[in-house]
Every structure is written in C-alpha cells, then in structure tokens.
Amino acid sequence: MRLLLNALLTTMATSRVGRVGIIGGGVGGCSAAKTISNALGSAVEVTVYEIGRGPGGRAATRRTREFPTLHVNHGAPTAQIVTEEGRKAIEAAGGEEVKGGHGTLNSSTGEFQEEEEGGWLFVGEGGVMGNLAASLIEGTGANVKTKYNSMVRGLERAANGDDGSWILRNGAGEILGEADWLVVAGSGVAHPRWTATFGNEPPLVEAAKALGDSQLDSSLKAIASQTASPVIAVFFVLSGSEAQRWLDLPFKVAKIEGNEVLGKVMIQRTGEEGYEVAVVLHSSRAFAETNKGVYGSTSSAKRVGGAKSDKGKEDELNAMMLEALAEIPQIPEVPMTCKYGPVLHRWGNAFVVGEGLSRENSMCRDAKVAFCGDYVETDAPLSSIECALLAGKQTGEAIVKEIKGGA
C-alpha cells in the first residue's frame, strides 16, 4: 500500500509541468527563458517578470508617443563580443555586426581616434538594442509568458517539503505568480542596495533567513560584496541640416577622454525623416557618482518603485552635460530647441563592480534558486551584454538539467 502510494506520488510529481519564474527581462533573463524553453518545450512553463514596459533592461531602447517610429538606444550602445560562444549567441538573437566609427575622442582637441579591432561589435536587429532581449523570447512559444509592469517586491518559499513553491508578490502583497524554480536575472531583489531605495530588506535576503540554506546564504554574501557604478544619460533628437552636421562627424560611438563630466557620445542614425539623428551622452562615472540620487522622472524606479525625483536638479545636470559637450572642439552646436529632448535618464546601476558570482554559487539546488545576468561569472568580461547572454544560457542549462533529472 505504502509502496503503491509512493509510486503514485512520484508519478504525480514528475508528470507535472515544471514552473520557472524569472525575475528580470533583460538580456540575461530572456537568454535563460530561451534556453529553458527550447530544451524543455511543453514540459516547462516559464514566466518572466519585468518592471519595465517591455524586455531589454540596460540594453534598452527608448521610444516615444510623439514619434512612434523613433528609437534611441539610451543604455548600452553596442555589445563588444570576445568569445566565439557569445558571438553565436548574439547572432542567433538577431544581433548585427557594426564596423568603423568606434574609438576615442580627445575632449581638449576634438580629435577622434579609431579603435583597433578588439572583439566584435554588435547592436540589436535594425540597430535597435532593445530588439536583442525581445528577439530572445520571441518565438519561444506558449511556454514562455511575460508579465511587464510587474515588480517583484516580496518572495517566500511555501513550507511544503521539497515541493514547496516560490511565491512572488507585488508591492501590495498580492501574488504575482508561483514557481518551482526561481531565476534571479538582475541582482536587485538580492542586493543590499534594495534597502537604500525601498527601506525594507531585499526580498530574497528576507526569504533566505527562513530557509537557512548555506549555499544560498553564501551566494547572497557574494552578491552583497558587489557594488554598482552609475551613469547619467542625456539624449536629444535632430533633423535636417542640424542632424547632418552630426552625421558628418567621423564617429558613431566615442569614448570621451579627459573630460570630468562626459564619458561617451553616441550618434545614432534613426533612418526616419523628420528626426534623422539621435545623440546620446553618457556621463563619466565620477559625475554620476557625485550626483547620486537624481532619477530621471521617467525612470522605472520612479514610475513603479516610488523613488523620488527632483526636476530642478535633473534640469541642472542636463544643462551641465550639454555645456561640457559644447566645450569640445569640432562638436556641432546643440540647437535651442530639438525635435525631441534633451531628456535625462539615470542608470543607477549601469555597471557591476567587484567579483562575479561564481558559476557554482549561481545555482542553489536545494533552495531552488538560480542567478543569471552580467554579475555572474562567465567566459566574458563582467558587466557586459555578452556576460548577460552567456550567464542566461549557463544558468538556463543548469535548470534544464535539474528539471530533467527530477523527472
């Protein structure tokens, strides 16, 4: 009798569809979703929870209601790929290779120096960086669901032996979903910086206290030792002869050397009449550090998380970045009125600083938590699109193995 019951229970457990909840729809989370969905098909149900209106995360593209076809890559402008595996992955995601126009700009002379080819440079399909994450989950089929405008604010593991599910909640404490496996694809819910913004303990840290899983604890400790460096982005859109002056410059993406305020300038051809060029400025790290705490009024943290923004301070930073740009010789004047912008966007955690979470600690089998994203160790440099792509693949494969092994 007992044996029979056990056999029955085992069959029930194995025939059930595995549920994977991915927190974060950036390149890392989407790469994991794709890997898991492709390998397991209808034996798995993947749900991606994302604060933003769509996928992309830091490899994002801004769109606007006024100009429906305008797109501005205001996060990562390109992905520099150094591994063969990364190249395959980015090509499979519709990444397009770009050549020329990448290098450094001397801010006191305005001289541009083309960079020696080191690795391969890519953008998303059609030059739209946001397409990279999107194309990873497009065509994955019905077993991948996406929940946008959904911020996970609470996590707990239902106490039900090995079969306990992860429960994901929103800010109001309502259940967003349940999962057997949790994939943390953006370290926010696991990192102490959560507390600085929202006051309470990071949701996964809170949940881990109740679990007492030593491996999860050590993963969280490693994540807590990482820090992040911010970038302030400002972009504006031009048309006609004003746009042409920027297209005549010898570069598309230039690191700015010797400037206290600016770190990078990017000139993007939109291909759309009426707003042909988008110019994006990225601040230096030091400038963003000294002006911490100023969010763009449109940032996700402000919109969903309720973080404060200060319009006056924002305008001041915006003006300072444009002034610094105007001081660089040979750079065209920014007209008093642009087609769109200048708009400021603050990336509070643009780059990961510290040591990557080890491959071993990116998979906590007993706690049924896995980590992926540009803060996890791969063959690519930390804090890059390539790293996020590879970490998603690596963590996705580890989960596939677990779900298959359990069956």
Ligand X SMILES: *[C@@H]1O[C@H](CO)[C@@H](O)[C@H](O)[C@H]1NC(C)=O
Ligand Y SMILES: Cc1cc2nc3c(=O)[nH]c(=O)nc-3n(C[C@H](O)[C@H](O)[C@H](O)COP(=O)(O)OP(=O)(O)OC[C@H]3O[C@@H](n4cnc5c(N)ncnc54)[C@H](O)[C@@H]3O)c2cc1C
Site of interaction with ligand Y (CB under 6 A): 23-29, 49-52, 57-59, 75-80, 151-152, 185-186, 188-189, 231, 233, 282, 300, 347, 350, 373-374, 383-386, 388
C-alpha angle 374/380/385, rounded to 5°? 45
Of 190, 194, 193, 149, whose CA–CA distance to 48 is shortest? 149
Q: Which of 257, 272, 316, 402 binds ligand X (CB under 6 A)?
A: 257
Nearest approach in angstroms of CB 104 to ligand X is 8
Nearest approach in angstroms of CB 250 to ligand X is 16
Alpha carbon distances (Å) from 114 to 233, 284, 346: 23, 20, 28
Give the whole-angstrom CA distance, residue 218 versus residue 391.
19
Q: Which of 6, 11, 14, 108 binds ligand X (CB under 6 A)?
A: 108
DSSP state of 56: B
**Is 329 among the residues that bind ligand X (CB under 6 A)?**
no
Nearest approach in angstroms of CB 363 to ligand X is 43
* Between 228 and 277, CB nearer to ligand Y: 228
Which partner, ligand Y, ligand X, none, binds residue 277 by CB below 5 to 8 Å per kind?
Answer: none
Look at the alpha carbons of 219, 175, 132, 235 in this order and tell me if their dihedral is positive or negative.
negative
Nearest approach in angstroms of CB 105 to ligand X is 10
**Is 6 among the residues that bind ligand X (CB under 6 A)?**
no
Nearest approach in angstroms of CB 359 to ligand Y is 15
Which partner, ligand Y, ligand X, none, binds residue 29 by CB below 5 to 8 Å per kind?
Answer: ligand Y
Nearest approach in angstroms of CB 249 to ligand X is 17
Residue closest to ligand X when measured from CB atoms: 258
Nearest approach in angstroms of CB 320 to ligand Y is 17
Give the whole-angstrom CA distance, residue 365 versus residue 363.
6
Cβ 85 vs Cβ 306: under 8 Å: no
**Is 327 among the residues that bind ligand X (CB under 6 A)?**
no
**Is 109 among the residues that bind ligand X (CB under 6 A)?**
yes
Structure tokens at 98: 């770009």
* Chain position carrying tokens 């100023």: 294
**Is 258 among the residues that bind ligand X (CB under 6 A)?**
yes
* Between 108 and 358, CB nearer to ligand X: 108
Locate all alpha helices (DSSP H) within 166-272, ordered by sequence: 193-198, 203-211, 214-224, 240-247
Give the whole-angstrom CA distance, residue 56 versus residue 133.
5
Q: Quick one: the chain helix, strand, coil %, rounded to 5?
A: 35, 30, 40
* Chain position carrying tokens 């996970």: 152
Which partner, ligand Y, ligand X, none, binds residue 75 by CB below 5 to 8 Å per kind?
Answer: ligand Y
Binding site for ligand X (CB under 6 A): 106, 108-109, 257-258
